[in-house]
Amino acid sequence: MDTKIELVEVSGLSLHPAAGMIPRMREDEQKALWGSIKADGVQEPLVVQGPNVILDGRHRWEGAKAAGVERVPVRYVELSEAGQVLFILRSAIVRRHLSDDQRAVLAARLRKPLSEAAKKSRSERANEKKHGEVSLSPPVGDKEKTDTRQQVAEALNVSRKKVERALALEEADPELAERVLAGEVRLSRAVRETNRRERRSEAVALPADKFSVIYADPPWQYDFSPTESRQIENQYPTMSLEGICALKVGEVAAEDAVLFLWATNPKLREALQVIEKWGFEYVTNMVWVKDKIGMGFWVRGQHELLLIARHGNPVIPEEARRPASVVTAKRGAHSSKPKEFYDLMERMCPGQKYLELFARTERAGWTAWGNEVGAK
């Protein structure tokens, strides 16, 4: 690598495309730098690939132009195309305080330019070898099996797994990836959001039948989680409130029907909206008290609500069939509900056609049983 330093006309320089992908300085940092350049000129040399492509020093170059500085100190280097990209990556890690998330997105964005440069480098070296020439370029990325994802991950000191997640985000939503790169959004939250969109786009196919009892346990989305490993999306696909409300549940409800709808405490307001959108009217609720306490948000939750609503004029249970409003039962697998509630519904509304929506393990997210449907 050559280290000679020269004074070069600012107007004769241009920025390497990969260098343009590096997140910009904060506004206050840039203002301070430009003020310093206006007062004292550019003190630290820009790093330039001969003859005029800037690899490191974009903000100094822009500050010089803004301050009317005509010439800046430049240190020339000679690198292969792949070497230039890797140099830009390593300079970014040294100069900028980038988070792991920002480095992952940067690695994802620069993987393609590095891959293309490495391919060109291999082609050039093969051609030189064919003509008996000796290449002076460093063999950066010149092996056939070079893993450019691994290279950029190592250059930016970020895990390959995180780079893979950033690549998926970049493909799914470049604008959201840009916000991660700018430090506005965390990568995990951005990936979670794109996953939610995909799940929202999947229509839930309802059965072509009418049911007098509908039992629903919506896969609510939450805006918080005690830890990333405990996120609901790690357990099962979730749906937005809009997606749940849009389901045509009223069309599979009999003229006179009862709805049993599960709602966690943070989702009570949303659950009441769902009841209304589905064409039901809220009448009362029950409480499931669990044997184990959960993490919670404001409080550590140990109970869930089972809201009861009606469509039309279903028969009110006889007094002997009315259960207590509080049921104490063991907590099972994540989101599973106690068997006692199936027995409870059948006791309150005997001999009916039952539909369970959002069944976690059944086809199309539902299962049916009862009168004219088949044994449970």
Q: Are residues 255 and 167 in the same domain?
A: no
**Span 311-315, mean pLDDT?**
96
- Of 135, 169, 194, which residue constitutes the final position of a domain? 194
Query: pLDDT, tens digit, for every residue of 62-103?
Result: 999 999 999 999 999 888 887 888 788 778 766 667 788 888
- pLDDT for the residue numbered 316: 95
Q: Are residues 86 and 223 in the same domain?
A: no
Q: Are residues 183 and 256 in the same domain?
A: no
Query: pLDDT, tens digit, for every residue of 351-361?
Result: 999 999 986 54
Percent residues over pLDDT 70 in the chain: 76
- pLDDT for the residue numbered 184: 86
Q: Are residues 300 and 349 in the same domain?
A: yes
Q: Are residues 66 and 93 in the same domain?
A: yes
CATH number assigned to the domain comprising residue 235: 3.40.50.150
Answer whether residue 139 shows pLDDT above 50: no
Q: Are residues 222 and 172 in the same domain?
A: no
Q: Which domain holds residue 101?
A: 5-194
Residues in contact with 51: Cβ distance below 8 Å, sequence separation at least 6, in sequence order: none
Q: Which amino acid is at 72?
A: V
Residues in contact with 78: Cβ distance below 8 Å, sequence separation at least 6, in sequence order: 1, 2, 49, 50, 136, 137
Q: Are residues 37 and 98 in the same domain?
A: yes
Cα angle: 263, vertex 267, 273; to 5 degrees: 90
pTM of the entire predicted model: 0.49
Q: Are residues 144 and 261 in the same domain?
A: no
Strand boundaries in the chain, DSSP class E: 5-9, 14-15, 46-49, 53-56, 71-77, 211-216, 253-263, 281-290, 303-311, 326-329, 353-357, 366-370
Q: Are residues 162 and 105 in the same domain?
A: yes
**Span 212-221, mean pLDDT?**
92
- pLDDT for the residue numbered 117: 65
Q: Are residues 36 and 128 in the same domain?
A: yes
Does the residue 154 lie in any domain?
yes
Query: pLDDT, tens digit, for every residue of 233-247?
Result: 444 467 888 889 999
Query: pLDDT, tens digit, for every residue of 17-50?
Result: 888 888 788 788 888 988 999 899 999 999 999 7
Q: Are residues 286 and 183 in the same domain?
A: no
Lookup: tokens for 79? 């690198």
Query: pLDDT, tens digit, for every residue of 175-197?
Result: 888 888 888 888 888 887 777 66
- pLDDT for the residue numbered 205: 76
Does the residue 204 lie in any domain?
no
Per the structure, how many domains does the chain have?
Answer: 2
Q: Are residues 188 and 232 in the same domain?
A: no
Query: Residue 286's pLDDT band (boundaries 50, 70, 90)?
Result: very high
Does the residue 105 lie in any domain?
yes
- Rounded to the nearest integer, the mean pLDDT of the chain is 80
- Of 194, 223, 256, which residue constitutes the final position of a domain? 194
- Of 136, 165, 194, which residue constitutes the final position of a domain? 194
Report the candidate in 76, 23, 67 with the shortest Cα–Cα distance to residue 45: 76
